[in-house]
Every structure is written in C-alpha cells, then in structure tokens.
Copies of this chain bind each other. A is one copy, B any other.
Amino acid sequence: MDTTSRLLMLLDVVELGSFANAAQTKNIDRSVISKQISRLEDDLGVRLLNRTTRSFSLTAAGAEMVKKARELRDLLGQTVRLAENYHQEPRGVLKITSSSIIAKLYLQPVINDFQKRFPQVEVELRLDDRVVDIVAEGFDLAFRVGEPKDSTLIARKIARNRLAILASPEFINTYGAPKTIDELALLPAATYASNSLRVNSINYIDKDGNHKEKTIKSVFRANDGEVLLLKALSGTAFIVLPSFILAKEVIDGQLVPLLPSLHLSDFSAMYAVYPHRDLPVRTRLFFDAVREHIGKDSPIWENNIPNFEQLYQG
C-alpha cells in the first residue's frame, strides 16, 4: 500500500467520522486503518490527527493533507473512469442504491437482463429509503423520486411520476364517493411516507388555474407500498400514492380512482443520480437500460391504471 491509498484512508476516517466507521464501511479491520495512518504519518514526517479512543481532530497539517487527498481521489477516480472508457464491454462492480420499491419493482428485472447481456458486471444493490451520501459511500448510481438537493450531483430524469387517489369499493360504500377535494380532505387517508419522500397533502389546480394545496387527513403512513395497498384494500382508508407503486389493483377492480376530474399538479419525477459526469461504460449502459425498461414517454406503471392519461387532467 502506498501514500495515495493511505491518504484516501485518512480521508475515509475524516469523512466518516471515526476509525471504526471507516473500517466498517470499507469492510476492513480497524487495526488496519490505525496502522496505515500511523505509517502515513511516519512517512510524511508529520502528525495528521490528534486522537483519543473516542474522538479525533485534524492537525493543521492533517487539514491540508485532507484537501490534497480529496484532489487525489478525484484525479484517481477520473483516471480509472477514463480507462473504463476504453473497455470493450462493461465489467467491474456496479454499485446502486435505491428505495425499496423502485428496486423491487423496476430495477431487479433490469439487473437480471443486464447481467445476462454482460456477464462480467457484478451488481451491488442497496435498498435504502434514506437519502444516502452516494459519494462517500461509493455508489455509482442512485434511483430516487424527487430531484436531489445536492447540486454537486448529476440528476437525470427517468420518468414522470404522477399521483393517484384510490379507494376500494367497500370504502366508497361506507363513505360515499367524494365530489370535491374538500369532501375528500375529510375522509381517512393512508399515505406514503419515508425519510426521503412524504405525501401528506394534495397539490392541485383549481378551475381558475390557480395552484392549490389541500392537506389530507392522513391516518396511516408507511414506506412500504404493499402495506399501504393492504390498508386501502381493507376499505378503511383511501390512498394517495405515486403511481409507480401500483401493480394490478386498479385493473382488477380492487381499487377505484376517486375524483378523476380533479386537475392534479405534477408530482416529483423519478431520477437517476450519479456523482460525476463521466460515467464508466457499465453505469451508462445500465442507466440506458433502466430508461428503456421504464419507457421514456409514458412510464410502464401508468399502464396499471386504464386511461390514466385522461385522469386528473381537469
């Protein structure tokens, strides 16, 4: 191991906050990091960290080294990706993070096909409903609903993702079909909520063309589509949820759209996010494969609600 690798190890410690965290993230023993950073300090002839068993701080020299280490990581990353441009076909590890639903419903079939086409590609898929630091955790690609707030990341829109308001026939028998959004807002709702995505109101456009927001009476929240669907199917709540969560429930008549003539505002699209513009071949090809699978014009999940193009258009 040489100076560059040790500097990157130092960077891991600083960015992840502890030797223990860095070791865990990189799947190596804590003693390795301890020894290698000591060795780095010996080789450079300067102390980089002041440390106790519970915390550390950077020395002045350490702070400078960390800046240089970031530049080295960037440059080395560029170099490796540059080499990857010359690959005949994609190879290596593709590390993807995604919300559970996106992964299960949309990514896994694409991954299966992709790995048939390119047997030399390995895939690591992390299901995580939190917004993760894809740079620090070394992801090539992330799939999310909603544009990322981190402007240093590159976000590319995969597909639009409109909301649907659905209830079971039993629910309608019990509460009646609401005729206005005000009536809807009085009924019990089950809504999607995760750390990164939360639905607790409905944005719509009224008859005069004004954008409006109506808070709904969310009595049940979960980050799992199946759980939400089961709640709706139980007839005890209607659901408002992004259409990408749906399967065949509407086609089978188990769920029925409410207020179909309401003019809903656009909802957050689905995005692919990656850390920098020059993608390895395998990342770019996978991205294209996901786009192809989902469909560029109207996403495949809109096929799960008949005549969805006409719904919620005012």
Q: Spell out A's residues near B (CB within 8 Å).
A: 1-5, 7, 44-46, 60-61, 64-65, 68-69, 71-72, 75-76, 78-80, 82-84, 86-87, 91-92
Contact A76 B3 (CB under 8 A): yes
Copies of this chain in the oligomer? 2
Contact B4 A91 (CB under 8 A): no
A3 interface neighbour in B46, B80, B84, B86, Cβ under 8 Å:
B80
* Given A4-B5, A7-B79, A65-B79, 10 other A-B residues pairs in contact with their CB atoms under 8 A: A3-B4, A3-B80, A4-B76, A44-B80, A46-B84, A46-B86, A61-B83, A64-B83, A68-B75, A68-B78
A83 and B44 in contact (CB under 8 A), knowing A72-B75, A75-B72?
A: yes
| CA–CA, A68 and B81, complex, Å | 11
A46 surroundings in chain B (CB, below 8 A): 83-84, 86-87
A83 surroundings in chain B (CB, below 8 A): 44-46, 61, 64-65
A60 interface neighbour in B45, B68, B86, Cβ under 8 Å:
B86
Name 16 A/B residue pairs within 8 A (Cβ), A-sorted: A2-B2, A2-B4, A4-B5, A4-B76, A44-B83, A45-B84, A45-B87, A45-B92, A46-B87, A60-B86, A61-B83, A64-B86, A65-B82, A65-B83, A72-B72, A72-B75
**A5, A61, A76, A83, most chain B CB atoms within 10 A:** A83
Q: Closest chain B residue to A64 by CB distance? A: B82
